[in-house]
Amino acid sequence: MPDLAWFVVRRLAAAVLVMLALSFAVYLIFYAIPADPANLACGKPCTPDRLEQARHFMQLDQSTIQQYLNFLKGIFAGRTFGDGTAAVHCNAPCFGYSFPLARPVTTLILERLPITASIALGAAVLWLIIGVSLGVVAALNRGRPLDRLSVGFALVGVASPSFLIGLLAILVFGFWLNMVPVSGYIPLTDSPVDWAWHLVTPWLVLAVLQAASYIRLTRAQMMEELNLDHITTARAKGAGEARVVLTHGLRGALVPIVTLFGLDLGGLLGGAILTEKVFSMQGLGDLLISAVAQLDVAVVVGTTLFSAFLIILANLLVDIVHGVLDPRVSHG
Amino acid sequence: MSSSVAGAVSPTRLALRRVRRDRSARAGVALVVGLIVVAAAAPLLVKLAGQDAYTYHIDLLDPARGNAPKGAIGGVSGDHWFGVEPLTGRDLFSIVVLGLRTSLFIAVVVTLITTVVGTLVGISAAYFGGWYDAVVSRLVDFLFGFPQLVFMIALGIIVPGGFPRWLLLILVLSVFGWAGLARLIRNQARSLVAREFVEAARSVGSSGWHVVTRELLPNLLGPVLVVATMAVPGYIGAEAALSFLGVGVPPPTPSLGRSISDSIAWVYTGADPWFLVFPGAALFLAVLGFTLLGDSVRDAFDVRLRRAN
Amino acid sequence: MARPVLEVHDLHVTFRTDGGLVPAVDGIDFAVAAGETLAIVGESGSGKSVSSAAVMGLLPGNADVTGEVLLDGRDLVGLPSDELRKVRGNDIALVFQDALSALNPYYSVGWQVAEAYRLHHGKSRDASKKEAQRQAVRMLDLVGIPDAARRANSYPHEFSGGMRQRVVIAMALVNNPKVLIADEPTTALDVTVQAQIMRLLEDVQEEFGTALVLISHDLGVVAEVADDVLVMYAGRAAERGTVRDLFHRAAHPYSLGLLGAMPRVDVPPKPRLTTIPGSPPSPGSISTGCPFQPRCAYTERVGERCITERPELTPRPGEGDHEAACHLGRRPSDA
């Protein structure tokens, strides 16, 4: 399909441009910081001499543009701070180096990513299933009790801040009923069962809340879709109700659902910040919050850019999936 | 069915009529009016209760239980209608109503700013088109690529301590907030600009200002109102989330999000779960009320909104 | 007339709405035989489209349908939905007015035609999938889609209006139905394309011996292709007869009004086309009397009967079963 390939190439180019613009903006904003990171690194007592040394070592004495170019170069070729025996290497792809933690930002992100990804992906699967199926059921039973129940559930879900419901869930299921663990993360490789068991509550909380907007979206889309003429055509052809609803109705509602899903998932992978805090899990969101508290600019910039990258990637994938799902987008 | 009777009634009248008929719409309106009254009259209510949000009442705490409030339901009494905060003994009723006031104030101001900016930018982009439209569209794309929550937290590192946090919150939420509305209004206005009545107005020599204010704005009023009402609960939630994460309104200014965050330890130990219940319920009701209102405004104006993304 | 494939007797359709019961079709009868064409004519709101949807069992849940719809003698009204499903698209097929919205934008046209085939031929799945695709291409070729094997993979938006309507016709005919209902099949098309599509319908009808029910307000088309005509007004039959009965011996003032509004080349030109004053009554608003009375130019001649008594179909002179529902005894033009 050359149409689709050309479409993907155009989208990819646009995404790269947005990413470049974004990274430059983030760099400008965060390196205009009044607090000098070199100050922290220089230790006490901090003589002007030592401060200058530290600035030079951290390459903060160069112009902002030069620093940005160094940063870009680091992503593809890696960077080295200082020279000789004191030199610090940051291998490609280098998203900066945290001097307070003495670790490359890439390593820090990769350490935390599995936790955030575990929370986000597990919850995403659940909320997609719950949200779409309840939305379809509601649309088919418009105005009847099943519809009202789904709509009411969705309303409460939309109106509930995730941290509030998370706290309540921990209170009820963790402390009062003592059914589930209340916090902590066990790596999947250590014990898949414990991994899932510790994630059940965050998954459910996130899934139930997120499902709400999917119920609303799916319901509205399905009601619109099922009123279209081609649905009557499908019935006139002799298609059964299940086929009419799923093959012909849901197919048309899929594009906006997939769009929402991609963007939600992309945003969440960049840091399930509230969920991580509520369930005391050390994911990317926690990395960012502690970095802000410690004035660790490199980590703040690195995580911000990483989550921006995920969102842009999600946007790109959504666009491409959109092109695949809707022939009108990619075919002329 | 378009009868001649319906044709004679203005869309706004029609919308109001629909709201009056819808039960959940009435509930939403009642809830929102109630919340706004409470928020507006919060200092008065606090005075009426004979309390303030800052005085410590150590005598009401039980040192044996880690300074949780004495008495049932978090220390509810005739003096302290919602009990007191653990550890400090500050009046929880004052904290909740003043916190609600902060939340609603920030959310409403941000909504006003983003609505005005988004509408102006959207309409002007549609009307002028060309390079201006292209720049606006790219800017909106750019803002959508931003990890907003992450960025708002990250900003905490560069803003000087002396800068008022509530103003920062309003600025940051506004900077990201207008883009969605601008994109929606631009797309809707563009289809209007291509329609005959706008062309007709132009062909008889109407000025650009006239076309925008007389032909475009009235036709876009519905979508603008709907998006604005639906945005309020989002901003209430965002303010609460940022305060919950410790990067929102700083202490000692009362904030629902921060109180909820403070309550975590007291909930986990079971010492004072009521500390979560009162601010939590207030936040829930605020978001619920505006969501209901937003839904009913959307239904009333019968506006189809495609997601701006 | 040969034994009819489709017979409709005393069909009533009533919608249950918030505003009460709204009758849309109020007792109509018609029949059509294999290879023949029946045209149902009327203004919008006359109940012609509702009748066709009722025959197909495609009305929404708030519609009550009574009467008989006999397909080869088998009554479709009240058939369990699963039985009805087997009939739809197999024995009776439908061609819609707007082909763009009638086709699903997300599937290729070949897939959509093949789906219609598979829905009624599906047991051994894989064999029939290939076979369905082959049938679809054959059908698309037959309705005049050039390079059908390749174009089968295209999507509806990639076709012109006329080609899309050909696809819809291919989809309707792929199972060789006994009855084809075409609901204003050419209204949405350019004039030149209209003629092509009508010729195509005539061709396939001849080839397959399909009974065609053509719903239209275009009397020019009707005069060309129909054998019999049913004129509907406010959910009831105003007049029925052969096409020559209607065009040469129209007995109902409403039919005359429709004919007067049509430009003709086969009779000497009139100074100007006439129009029927007023608009059709909204469904359910007529309780007694003739539904056409408020717009009828002959009411004065008949008198009070038009207001107090509802006219029934009565025989009129003509070739066959020419009938009209009018109190005026003679043909209005003879008066």
What ipTM, to 2 d.p.?
0.84
Instruction: Identify the residue whose tokens are 């709101």.
Output: C45
Chain C residues within an 8 Å CB radius of A235? 58, 88
pLDDT for res A178: 73
Mean pLDDT, all residues of chain A = 83
Q: Collect all residues with Cβ–Cβ distance below 8 Å to A187 and sequence separation of at least 6.
A: A114, A195
Residues of chain A with a CB closer than 8 angstroms to some CB in chain C = 228-230, 232-241, 243, 248, 251-252, 325-328, 331-332
Fold for the domain defined by C1-91+177-277: Rossmann fold (3.40.50)
Look at residues A227, A320, A230, A332 and name the one whose alpha carbon lies nearest to residue C111.
A230
DSSP C149-193: HHHTTS-GGGS-HHHHHHHHHHHHHTT--SEEEEESTTTTS-HHH
Residue A332 has pLDDT above 60, yes or no: no
Q: How many A×B Cβ pairs under 8 Å?
A: 136
**Chain A: nearest CA to C278, how far in angstroms?**
31
Share of chain A above pLDDT 70, in %: 93
Q: According to the model, what pLDDT value does residue A130 have?
A: 93
User: Residue B235's closest CA among B149, B156, B162, B164?
Assistant: B149
Q: Which residue has the tokens 């160094």?
A: A70
Say yes or no for a CB contact (<8 Å) between C157 and A235: no
**Model confidence at B293: pLDDT above 60:** yes
The predicted structure's pLDDT at residue C332? 59
Classify residue B278: in a domain, yes or no: yes
CA–CA separation, B26 and A256 (whole Å): 30
The residue to which tokens 């007023």 are assigned: C278
Taking the mean position of all CA atoms in its chain, how far away is CA A160? 20
Q: What is the mean pLDDT of residues C171-175?
A: 90
Q: Which of C229, C224, C247 is nearest to C239 (CA)?
A: C229
Q: How far is CA C288 from CA A237, B126, C309, in A?
A: 40, 56, 6
Give A6-53 pLDDT, tens digit per residue.
Answer: 878 888 888 888 888 888 888 888 776 655 666 666 666 677 777 777
What pLDDT is attached to residue C220?
84
Amino acid at A162: S
Task: Note whether A234 contacts C104, CB cutoff 8 Å.
Answer: yes
Kindly report which listed range (A241-255, B201-215, C147-161) carries the lowest average pLDDT score. Answer: B201-215
The count of domains in chain B is 1
- Smallest CA–CA distance, residue C290 to chain A, in Å, is 34
Distance of CA C2 to the CA centre of its chain: 20
Question: Which residue does chain B place closest to A157, by CA atoms?
Answer: B288
> Per the domain annotation, does B16 fall within a domain?
yes
- For an interface test with C, which of A230, A248, A326 has the most C Cβ atoms less than 10 Å from its Cβ? A230
The residue among C260, C251, C255 whose CA lies nearest residue C326 is C251
- Give the tens place of pLDDT for each residue, A76-90: 888 888 777 777 888
Tokens of C57: 């069992």
pLDDT of residue C314: 84
CB contacts, 8 Å: A324 with chain C:
none
pLDDT of residue B193: 74
| Model confidence at A314: pLDDT above 90 | no
Tell me whether residue B200 is in a domain. Answer: yes
CA gap C239, C246 in Å, rounded: 8
Residue B51 lies in a domain: no
Taking an 8 Å cut-off on Cβ atoms, the answer to whether C96 and A237 are in contact is no
Q: Cβ B146–A271 below 8 Å, yes or no?
A: no
| Confidence check: pLDDT of C109 > 80 | yes
* Core vs surface per residue B211-232: b (16+ CB within 10 A) or e: bbeebbeebbebbbbbbbbbbb
Residue C56 CA: distances (Å) to CA of A112, A173, C8, C184: 60, 54, 12, 16
Q: Is the pLDDT of residue A181 over 80?
A: no
- In the sheet with C4-17, reading across from the earlier edge strand, the strands are C20-33, C4-17, C63-71, C74-75
Amino acid A298: pLDDT: 86
Q: Where is pLDDT greater, at A110 or A164?
A: A110
Residues from chain A contacting residue C155 (CB–CB below 8 Å): 327-328, 331
Q: What tokens does B233 get?
A: 């609960």
Statement: residue A177 has pLDDT above 80: no
**Does B25 have pLDDT greater than 60?**
yes
Question: Contact, B192 vs B135, CB < 8 A?
Answer: no
Chain segment A296-306, per-residue pLDDT in tens: 888 888 888 88
What domain range includes position B286? 3-26+99-308
8 Å CB contact of A273 and B245 = yes
Which residues of C lie closer than 8 Å to A, measured between beta carbons? 56, 58, 81-82, 85-90, 93-94, 96, 98, 101-108, 115-116, 119-120, 154-155, 157-158, 168, 171
Determine the distance in angstroms separating the CA of C302 from the nearest CA of chain A, rounded to an integer: 44
Per the structure block, which two tokens stand in for A216? 């609303």
Decide if B80 is inside a domain: no
> Which of the four pLDDT bands, split at 50, 70 and 90, describes residue C227?
very high
pLDDT tens across A265-286, in order? 888 887 678 888 888 888 888 8
Category of C61 on φ-ψ map: left (φ > 0), alpha (ψ -120 to 50) or beta: alpha
Does residue B2 have a pLDDT over 70?
A: no
Could you read off the pLDDT of B102-153 as tens digits, one per residue? 899 999 999 999 999 999 998 888 888 788 888 888 888 778 777 778 878 8
Residues 6+ apart with CB under 8 A from C96: A229, A232, A233, C102, C168, C183, C185
Helix (H, G, I), strand (E, B) or coil at A51: helix
Q: Say which of C58, C98, C158 has its CB closest to residue A236.
A: C58
**Is there a domain that residue B68 lies in?**
no
DSSP assignment letter at C230: E
Say whether residue B240 is in contact with chain A using an 8 A CB cutoff.
yes
Asked if residue C136 has pLDDT above 70, the reply is yes
Residues 14-73 of chain B with CB under 8 A from chain A are none
Q: How far is C155 from chain A (nearest CA, A)?
A: 7
Residue C314 near residue C293, CB atoms below 8 Å: no
Interface with B, mutate which of A286, A288, A297, A310 (most B CBs under 10 A): A288
Structure tokens at A90: 């940051």
Say how far apart CA B217 and CA A48 lie, in whole Å: 60
Is residue C119 within 8 Å of residue A237, measured between CB atoms? yes
Domains of chain A with CATH codes: 3-104 (no CATH), 106-322 (1.10.3720.10)
Q: Which CATH number goes with the domain that contains B237?
A: 1.10.3720.10
Distance from CA of A322 to the nearest CA of C (A): 11
Mind telling me how many Å the CA of B156 is from chain A's nearest CA? 7
pTM: 0.79
A251 with C96: Cβ contact below 8 A? no
Q: How far apart are the first and last CA of chain C?
A: 32
Residue spans of the domains in chain C: they are: 1-91+177-277, 103-168
Measured between alpha carbons, how far is A332 from B4 in angstroms, rounded to an integer? 42
Express each pLDDT in C19-71 by its tens digit: 788 888 888 999 999 999 999 998 877 888 889 889 988 888 888 999 999 99
Separation in Å, CA A320 to CA A2, A316, A330, B140, B259: 14, 6, 9, 20, 43
Q: Which residues pair with C242 in a beta bridge?
A: C228
Residue in C212, C295, C210 with CA at minimum distance from that of residue C252: C295
B255 interface with A at CB cutoff 8 Å: no
Q: Which residue of A has its CA nearest to B269?
A: A175
Rounded CA separation B126/A154 (Å): 35
Cβ of A252 within 8 Å of Cβ of C155? The answer is no
Q: Region A306-325: what's the mean pLDDT?
A: 84
The answer to whether A239 contacts C171, with C-beta atoms less than 8 Å apart, is no
Q: Which chains touch A (3 or more CB pairs under 8 A)?
A: B, C
Residue/partner pairs of A317-325 with CB below 8 Å, 24 or more apart: A317/A262, A318/A258, A318/A259, A318/A262, A318/A263, A319/A11, A320/A7, A320/A8, A320/A11, A321/A258, A321/A262, A322/A255, A322/A258, A322/A259, A323/A4, A323/A7, A323/A8, A323/A11, A324/A4, A325/A254, A325/A255, A325/A258, A325/C106
Nearest C-alpha in A relative to B140: A18
Q: What pLDDT is attached to residue A44?
A: 63
Written as six digits, the tokens of A301 are 């910039």
Q: Do A331 and C155 touch (CB under 8 A)?
A: yes
Which residues on A lie below 8 Å from B158 (Cβ)? 29-30, 32-35
When CB atoms are compared, the residue of B141, B263, B287 closest to A161 is B287
- Distance from C-alpha of C77 to C-alpha of C81, rounded to nearest angstrom: 10
Q: Quick: pLDDT tens for C254-301.
A: 888 888 766 665 666 555 666 777 777 766 565 678 888 888 877 777
